Each structure stands twice: as C-alpha cells, then as structure tokens.
Amino acid sequence: MYPILVVSIVALAVVLERIFWWLGRWMRRDPKRIEKVFTAIEVGDVTEASRLSRDSRDPVLRMMWNGLNHQHASLQGALQVAAGIEIKRAGRFLVVMDTLVTLAPLLGLLGTIVGLMKAFGSLGNEELAVVTVTGGIAEALIATACGLGIAIFSLIPFNFFTSRVSNLEFELQTAATNLEVMLEAYNKTGAHSEVEIPGTTPSSATRSSI
C-alpha cells in the first residue's frame, strides 16, 4: 500500500501544480496587445510592434518578440526556438501524469495479488483462517480500488492538459505564420519602393539631356 500512497501524493501534487500554472497562463493572456502588434506590423511600424511585445508574460507575445528581434538573422528559426520553449513549459509533467495513469492500476493489481497470497497462505491455520482471509481479501480490494481511483483521477486532467498544450501549439503556429507572412509582405513592399525610386533617375537624366 505504501507505493500506492506515494503515487497518490505525486499525482495530487502534479495535478495541482498544472492547474495553478494554467490558471496563471489564462490570466497572462493579452489578445488585445497581440492585435496591436499585428496592426503595427501591417502599417510598417516594426519598432512599435517590438515595443508592444517586449516584457510580456503572454507566451504568444514572447514568441513574437523573439522573432521580431532576430528577423535579420533567422526569423523562422527564432520563432521555432521560442515556440518550442513555450510548448515545453506547457507540457511539463505530462510524462509523469501519463506514467501515473499506467502505473497506478498495476500497483493496485500487485496489491491485490499480495493480499490474496496472504489470504490463501493462512488457510492452514484454522483458528485465524477466517480473520486472516477476510483481511487479505479486504486489502486486495482496497489496493485495486485505490489503483483505479488514482488512474481515473490522473487520466481526466492528463487529457485536459494535453488538449490545452495542443491548443497552445496551434496558437503559436498560427501567430508565427501570420508574423512571417506580414513581415515578408512588408519587406517586399520596402524593397519594391527602393527599386522604383532609383529608376526615376535615368529617365529624368535622359529628359534633361534631350
């Protein structure tokens, strides 16, 4: 029963830690500032977009700030690294929860077998047979119930947190794609303007020479 007790404490601690973490992330979300950043990029004010995304606790804004400040080196690489860090933070302890979901029923089954072995091992003693067999069977049933209870308790939060990580990954990918497209469009527009302006010089010089 002691391994099951340890597993139950670990499961409770992990679930509570993840609940508080996701609550804090929900409070840190700032969709209005994200829209302002995209608006600034759309009008060509990359400096303002970088200022708006600086020192934010929103994971999407942190990723965007990292991309905006490393776009000249490797925009896509900077976005991928920042997104990977955010996803790793969000997926913390999911492996532990997955392990607990599988381990708890196995420990319950092990406790069941041990309890039944004690029960059947005492059948030779007629005086204590009834009490010992009853206690062994009760221990076996308790171990099974505890193992299944821990697995059920861990499974529901595990699936919920996994879905939240998938949603965060989708949000990061969407924001990164939008940022890449908008910056690419802005850079092309700037390059096009630079090409057109020098093109007027030869024509004016030709007219003047004529």
Phi, psi for residue 70 in degrees, rounded to 5: -130, 20
- Structure confidence at residue 195 (pLDDT): 37
- Structure confidence at residue 60 (pLDDT): 93
d(Cα 92, Cα 167) in Å, to the nearest integer?
15
Tens digit of pLDDT for each residue in 79-137?
Answer: 999 999 999 999 999 999 999 999 999 998 888 888 777 777 766 555 556 666 677 77
Does the global pTM surpass 0.85?
no
- Structure confidence at residue 186 (pLDDT): 77
Amino acid at 66: N
Query: Residues of the chain whose pLDDT is less than 50?
Result: 191-210
Residue whose entry in the numeric block shows the structure tokens 């840190």: 28
- Structure confidence at residue 127 (pLDDT): 57
Instruction: Answer whether 148's CB lies under 8 Å from 6's CB.
Output: no
CA distances from residue 118 to 16, 58, 112, 143, 170 in whole angstroms, order as listed: 36, 56, 10, 14, 53
- Structure confidence at residue 84 (pLDDT): 94
Q: Which of 26, 164, 16, 169 is nearest to 96 (CA)?
A: 16
